[in-house]
Amino acid sequence: MERLHVGGMAHIWRVTRDDMSPPAILKAPIVQDGDDATAIVSFEMEQMILPLLTGPHSPRFIASGDFSKKPYIVMERIEGESLLSRIDHAPLPVAEVTKIGIGVAHALADLHRQHVIHLDIKPSNIMRRPNGEITLIDYGLSRHDLLPDLLAEEFRVPIGTGPYLSPEQIARDRSDPRSDIFALGVVLYYLLTGVRPFGYPRKKAGLARRLWRDPEPPHSLNPECPPWLQEVILHCLEPEADKRYATAAQLALDLANPEQIQLTERAEKFSADSWLVARRRWWMQKFSPSRFTRSKASRRASAPIVMAAVDLSEANAPLAEVLRETAGRIMKTAPGARLACVTVIKTSRLRLDSPQDEQGANLHVRRLVDVRAWANDLGLLPEQVTAHVLEATDPAAALIDFARENHVDQMVIGAGSPIRRTIGPTAARIGAQAPCTVTLVRLPRPTDLAPEGEDVETEPDSGFGI
């Protein structure tokens, strides 16, 4: 047993046992007479939440002991280092900041899907495994949507790390997952500029300023910051939660596709908002009724990522039209939704395919143009739509992987030709394996393709891009 760290609320030990491999971490709260009860309550919260979490973005729970004897939590030891080690090297290159942002956004999306808001996102709580995957640690200040929030019930002050607290946390609302998006925006700003966007306030008045004040634009501190990254960071740091990214999944999708980010006035700012704009925000937050009414589930339901798997081959043109109509109807039910339009170029396993079409144009670019044209007829706002061309030997696997990696909530896909009696194998496999709701779309079966009582010949679904 080796002590690794003494924090403000707990001791961290490296522990081993004959029947336990590899070594684990034991966390024990610091409990002394007269101490602030926050350490005890936050430890209780982590004991409740950590065993419920699954996946690589949180440490694996091993065991725990309660306060009747000796309180402790034993969990997986994450090999790797925290982002705290990179702070001294800030400002970091844009490519590294972007990669970190994508990883943390994916981790947050996974956490939010499990009904948990972290509420203490900061460099020391963000770990990078040797394979580059992000793991979030320290759930003492977190909230689970289906468990009692002991911190909210027992304390009447903002709880968290000052520089990273969201405006709603300062207003003592712990129910909004967009608080984690705000904190991630602070982290990205800090890594990109070497400066905390709101300093390090220690008093309530200093904390409260971010309810109505925005930070200096990152480009004013780091001229290497491209407009699209300033757009993303300031979008995360909006004082009003409703103006931020609706979900971490949408944020990850933008960071992974910077060329498709729709730039607004945020991208062009060279200074913080005027005192008049700040005054208006101050007035609104002071005299408006509480905005904190919806649960995480309802917020996510209003801002899903919808994926349209589009086959634009000439033979499937009628089906593509029906697919577009279906996608349009789905998007109308959720005004905050994002539509990812995806098509697949099927390649051979030997990679001998020509990158050009019959007219000599780049096939990937041609497909991208075609997908964008297909999406344009939906009449959606540009910031609601992204277009993606995948190249894969297995179209079904590529579509399933895209849905999983981008936290897609619903996929819409054509089920095949109207003359086929069964769903083709590509659509059937996606329906069985996709990590989301799948809507299969097909043309109405025509009644005049074959005489009554006569069988119709069927053929297997060949997949996308043939």
* 177 and 282 inside one domain: yes
449: in domain: no
Q: Are 77 and 26 in contact (CB under 8 A)?
A: no
Number of domains the chain is built from: 3
Which token pair is 380? 């959606």
The mean-pLDDT minimum among 133-147, 163-177, 249-263, 311-325 falls in 311-325
- Angle value at C-alpha 82, between 86 and 167, nearest 5 degrees: 85
Tens of pLDDT, residue by residue over 161-182, are: 999 999 999 988 999 999 999 9
452: in domain: no
* 403 and 338 inside one domain: yes
* 231 and 137 inside one domain: yes
The mean-pLDDT minimum among 109-118, 224-233, 276-285 falls in 276-285
Among 300, 324, 352, residue at a domain's last position: 300
* 98 and 32 inside one domain: no
As a whole number of angstroms, the distance between CA 350 and CA 218 comes to: 46
Q: Which residues contact 420 (CB under 8 A, 6 or more apart)?
A: 456, 458, 459, 461
What is the CATH number for 25?
Answer: 3.30.200.20
Range 130-141 average pLDDT = 95
Which token pair is 179? 């608080």
* 379 and 291 inside one domain: no
Q: Which residue has the higher pLDDT, 349 or 240?
A: 240
450: in domain: no
Among 27, 54, 76, residue at a domain's last position: 76
Query: What phi and psi values does residue 136 have, to the nearest 5 degrees?
Result: -95, 135
Range 40-62 average pLDDT = 93
Q: Which residues contact 374 (CB under 8 A, 6 or more apart)?
A: 310, 312, 320, 324, 341
Q: Which residues contact 202 (CB under 8 A, 6 or more apart)?
A: 162
Q: How far from each other are the two terminal CA atoms of the chain, in whole angstroms? A: 60
Among 300, 317, 337, residue at a domain's last position: 300
Q: What domain range includes position 25?
A: 2-76
* 288 and 323 inside one domain: no
pLDDT at 200 over 70: yes
Residue 63 forms beta bridges with which residues? 74
H or E segment to which residue 289 belongs:
none
451: in domain: no
What is the CATH number for 370?
Answer: 3.40.50.620
pLDDT band at residue 423, thresholds of 50, 70 and 90?
Answer: low
- Angle value at C-alpha 341, between 464 and 353, nearest 5 degrees: 35
What letter would DSSP give residue 146? Answer: T
Closest CA to 390 of 303, 307, 304, 305: 307
Q: Are 157 and 149 in contact (CB under 8 A)?
A: no
pTM assigned to the model: 0.84
* 315 and 381 inside one domain: yes
